Amino acid sequence: MQRILSTAACMSLALMLACQQGLAASAYDKIKFPYSPMSWNSLPWWMAKEAGHFERNGLDVELFYEGASSVIVQAMLAGESNFGGLAGPAVVSNVIGGGDVIQIAAIVKTFTIPMFSAPNIKDVAQLKGQKVAVSRFGSISHIAAQNIFQKAGVTGATVIQSGGTPESAAMLMSGAVAAAMVPPPQSLILKEKGYRELVSVKQFREWNIPVVENGVAARRSFVDKNPGVAKRFIRSAFEGIKTIHENKELAIKTLAKYTKINDEKILEESYRYSVDALSKEGSMPPEAFSALVEQLVSQKSIDEAASKKLPLTAYFDNRFVSELEKEGFFKKLWQ
């Protein structure tokens, strides 16, 4: 009888634990998270996943790569996801068009996509009448290219959309274009093959162009109703950035896993880019959106009259980052 009671007690305990685990799993908020590009820019999401930050913040996040920001926004507006890893023109364009995808955190606040060219192209001026690849029309790589042309006074270059960063690099190597906007790790491959870096990240920094190149975007309709989920996602992303700084071995291993690149030199350079460029706090500078709207209007990518009807805050919301800041999150994270 005692053995039967003991067995029953064990079964009851096992059942109780199983129920608790099931409840804990079901308590996680499920999030589909499309992102771009396939480079170190996306390392915060990858690291938050690999290091378990999403789970510790009660999130069950499914990461999946999309070719460009404009594609991600389309998927979000179609109801396929409420968050995305993107920034820039696609956010502004969708708001102008009546969409509710906005920026809620910035992780990169400078242009970091260098322009590479065929070895015989030695100056941006030589791109007049030539084809230049960007990931997608309206993407951050497109805006970066347009800024280069404006700074260099170049007109007459034909911009081609490739579909993504790897595709842009492939077009350049095949000779289909004379230049391409390509960030690490693919840019390191181009360097090794003798392609020329026409415009570097250093040059972008010297130009000091206000921009949010990458960050967390979300549907305003969702985060207004679920502010806690938005804050936990942002928290996870910046905990991921902290882990990038603290655990180089895991960061490089994660880069290799997601980019499918195993060259140590390329991974090392990609890691260096991430440490140098990723922001330690997530607020969005309003001037970055003001400059972006002006650029898009000048390029006739958006309607000027429609843009004048909207305040800058239509494109972003700093409240979630501000609340985390008031709670001491960023200070504690980096102390």
User: pLDDT tens digits for 179-222?
Assistant: 999 987 788 889 989 999 999 888 888 888 888 999 999 999 99
Q: Which residues on neighbouring strands pair with residue 215, listed in sequence order? A: 106
Closest CA to 62 of 38, 43, 44, 81: 81
End position of a domain, from candidates 207, 225, 243: 207
Among 157, 179, 207, give the residue marking a domain's end: 207
Q: Write out the residue range of the structural domain in which residue 170 sits.
A: 115-207
Q: pLDDT at position 27, please? A: 84
pLDDT category, 26, cuts 50, 70, 90?
low
- Helix, strand, coil distribution of the chain in percent, nearest 5: 55, 15, 30
DSSP 21-55: HHHHHHTSEEEEEEE--SSGGGHHHHHHHHTTHHH
Residue 102 has φ and ψ, to the nearest 5°, of -125, 170
Kindly state whether residues 136 and 273 are assigned to the same domain. no
Asked, as a colleague might, if the bond just before 37 is cis with ω within 30 of 0, I would say: yes
The per-residue pLDDT for range 293-307, each reduced to its tens digit, is: 988 898 788 999 999
**Do 34 and 81 share a structural domain?**
yes
Question: In this structure, what CATH number is given to the domain that contains residue 62?
Answer: 3.40.190.10
In the structure encoding, which two tokens stand for residue 53, read together? Answer: 């930050």
Shared-domain flag, residues 224 and 175: no
Using omega within 30 degrees of 0 as the cis cutoff, is the peptide bond preceding 185 cis?
A: yes
Tell me, what's the pLDDT at 206?
A: 84
Is the same domain home to 35 and 161?
Answer: no
Residue 188 shares a structural domain with residue 268? no
The whole-model pTM stands at 0.79
